[in-house]
C-alpha cells in the first residue's frame, strides 16, 4: 500500500501565501507611479544573488503487493525544510525574454517511512533519512510582462536543471550496528517551472519567485534488502520560494 504525503500540499499552500505577503511588503519600496531603474531593462547582462527556502520530497512508487516482505505494511515519504543559495546571471534575449543561469547550493533533508506491523499487532515506523547537499546548475527561459504600475513585472519561467548530491550515500557502507543505509544516486536531471514578480526599487531589482522541480531519474540504488527492493521508483520533487536581488 502506498500513502501520499498530504503534508507536502499543505506546505505548498502555506508557501504560496508567504510569497504573496512578502511580495506585498516589498512592493511598497517600488514607489508606485515613480519609474525606477529606467535603463535597467536595456542592459545585456544582469547579475545578482538568490536566497531560497525549499521543501524537498520524493514521488515514490512501491511494488503493488508488499506481502512478500512479511511485516512491511506501508511506505511513504516526509519532507523537511531546507534552504538554497545561488548566483544569478541573466542574459537579455529580447523585450520580454531572458535566459537565466543560477548555479547554487541546496541543502535538503527527507524521510522515507516504513510502517512495520508485528505479529502481536503493534506497529513501528522506521525512518530512513536522506540528507543531501546539491550543487544545482539550472538553465531557464524567463517570459516577462510589460511593467505594471511602472515598477512591477509578472513573469513565468521554465527549463531544466542538473543536480549533483555532494554527500550522496551511494558509496556509504552499512554501519556496524546492522542498520540499513538507503543509497541514492548522486546525479539527477529535473524539469522546472515557476512564476514570480519583479519589483523595481530605487537602487536594485527585487524578485519573489515560486518554483517547482520534478526529477526525471529514479534516484534509488537497488540493493538486496527490503527497504530498497520494496520501492520501484524514487524521483525527486522540490518546492522552492526564492528572494532574488539584482
High-pLDDT (> 90) share of the chain, %: 35
Proportion of the chain above pLDDT 70, given as a percent = 63
What is the secondary structure of 75-127 as a DSSP string?
A: EEEEEEEEEEEEEEEEEE-SSSEEEEE--EEEEEEEEEEEEEE-TTS-EEEEE
**Model confidence pLDDT, tens digit, residues 210-222:** 999 999 988 877 7
pLDDT of residue 21: 55
3-state DSSP percent of the chain in helix, strand and coil, to 5: 15, 55, 30
Residue 140: inside a domain: yes
In a domain, 1, yes or no: no
Lowest mean pLDDT among 18-22, 80-84, 229-233: 18-22
What confidence category does residue 44 fall into, taking pLDDT thresholds of 50, 70 and 90? very high
Overall number of domains in the chain? 1
Between CA 40 and CA 94 the distance in angstroms is 13
The CATH number of whichever domain residue 89 belongs to comes to 2.40.160.20
Mean pLDDT within 79-84: 80
pLDDT at 171: 53
Question: Which residues form the domain of 177?
Answer: 6-245
Bridge partners for 197 per DSSP = 154, 208
On the 0-12 / 13-18 / 19+ scale of CB atoms within 10 A, 51 is middle
Amino acid at each position: 500500500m502506498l500513502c501520499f504525503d498530504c503534508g507536502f500540499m499543505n506546505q505548498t499552500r502555506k508557501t504560496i501565501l508567504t510569497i504573496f505577503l512578502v511580495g506585498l511588503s516589498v512592493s511598497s519600496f517600488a514607489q508606485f507611479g515613480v519609474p525606477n531603474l529606467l535603463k535597467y531593462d536595456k542592459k545585456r547582462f544582469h547579475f545578482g544573488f538568490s536566497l531560497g527556502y525549499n521543501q524537498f520530497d520524493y514521488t515514490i512508487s512501491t511494488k503493488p503487493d508488499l506481502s512478500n516482505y512479511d511485516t512491511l505494511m506501508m511506505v511513504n515519504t516526509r519532507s523537511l525544510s531546507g534552504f538554497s543559495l545561488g548566483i544569478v546571471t541573466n542574459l537579455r534575449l529580447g523585450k520580454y525574454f531572458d535566459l537565466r543561469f543560477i548555479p547554487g547550493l541546496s541543502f535538503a533533508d527527507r524521510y522515507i517511512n516504513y510502517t512495520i506491523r508485528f505479529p502481536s499487532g503493534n506497529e513501528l515506523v522506521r525512518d530512513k533519512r536522506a540528507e543531501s547537499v546539491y550543487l544545482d546548475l539550472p538553465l531557464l527561459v524567463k517570459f516577462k510582462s510589460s511593467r505594471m504600475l511602472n515598477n512591477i513585472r509578472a513573469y513565468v519561467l521554465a527549463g531544466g536543471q542538473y543536480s549533483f548530491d555532494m554527500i550522496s550515500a551511494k558509496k556509504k557502507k552499512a554501519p556496524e550496528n546492522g542498520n540499513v543505509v538507503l543509497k541514492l544516486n548522486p546525479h539527477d536531471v529535473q524539469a522546472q517551472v515557476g512564476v514570480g514578480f519583479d519589483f523595481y526599487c530605487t537602487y536594485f531589482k527585487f524578485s519573489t519567485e515560486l518554483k517547482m522541480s520534478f526529477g526525471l531519474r529514479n534516484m534509488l540504488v537497488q540493493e538486496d534488502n527490503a527497504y530498497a527492493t520494496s520501492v520501484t521508483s524514487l524521483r525527486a520533487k522540490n518546492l522552492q520560494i526564492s528572494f532574488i536581488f539584482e
